[in-house]
Amino acid sequence: MHTMSPPDGSAFDATRSPVAFLFPGQGSQTVGMGKNLSEAHSIARQTFEEADDALGYKLSQVCWEGPEEDLKLTEITQPAILTTSVAVLRVLAEQGIKPDFAAGHSLGEYSAHVAAGTLSFPDAVRTVRNRGRYMQEAVPVCRGAMAAILALPLAQIRELCAEAAQGEVCQPANINSPDQVVISGDKAAVERAAELARHRGAKRAVLLPVSAPFHCSLMQPAQERLAADLRTLDLREARIPVMCNVEARLVTTADIIRDTLIRQVTGTVQWEQCVRGLIGSGVQLFLEVGPGKVLTGLMRQIDRRQTCLNVEDGATLEKLTTSLSQR
């Protein structure tokens, strides 16, 4: 249970039930993210300054001013989304709004571990910068692809991936909701699978504008390079449980967390099961912390009864505090 103080100074009970913070992954970036909060809150501005120092270049400038082409580069996108998410996290903490659980979609799992105190923020920023670089370099440009398949059962998607592979790689990468599964692998195999999906009743099967085939076995070289980095890092026991992508279970132990973050590079993001696990743990309020509303949209597909609010700027922060004051 958390208390927070509104501007008039009176304290009220913000939440009477467990809160989970959800952190977005790659694809949620937009030019200008974090700027509004950094102008209004010194802790947000300091977060971007810390990231600039950790990386040795002005990440803040790319986030706030672009160009968009730079922000789309995987090794910039990943620290940019993480930094924006942590800036929002810290502003929420100043307002007395803190999580009981955390989870993040792919890259967002690193933001969740910053929230849980497992990873220091500078370590996390540098690690995801490298993670982005390793993922980009793991597969030659144009060799891999990803596609979103809508409204087809997971078992059927697994079957058509196996059928389309023909000796190449084609596997479910993100199980996002009952309505949305993203597949990943060799370009020709993914294209074959998307075509099969259309013929077998998928509502849509769309190739995604991504720079690499994430979360499949083609990422093995990236996983090995990232494993070496993660083994040198000082990971602490998590202060709050984090729902890990690869197993959809709550983790708090440093060694287990390191292992799940390593395996996540080639492993499937079990997002639907992560969310269901948090609901099963008694969470009654979900906050998407960071840029965009992707996870809020997926929540509606997973369980429409859940309350999920996104916080990314001054307007959404005000909406949240108003909503909490009325709970």
The single-letter code of the amino acid at 141 is: V
Name the helix (H) or strand (E) containing 61. Answer: helix 59-65
**165-196 as b/e: b if 16+ CB within 10 A:** beeebbbbbbbbbeebbbbbbbbebbbbbbeb
Yes or no: say if 38 and 63 are a contact pair by the CB < 8 Å rule. no
Q: What token pair was written down for 79?
A: 């620290």
Yes or no: say if 167 and 106 are a contact pair by the CB < 8 Å rule. no
Cα distances (Å, whole numbers) of residue 101 to 148, 177, 243? 28, 20, 8
Q: Which of 156, 163, 148, 157 is nearest to 214 (CA)?
A: 148
| Degrees to nearest 5, angle at CA 322 with 310 and 104 | 20
Q: How far apart are alpha carbons 275 and 280 in whole angstroms?
A: 9
Paired sense of beta strands 19-23 and 285-289, if any: parallel
The residues carrying an active-site annotation are 106, 215
- 3 state DSSP class of 149: strand
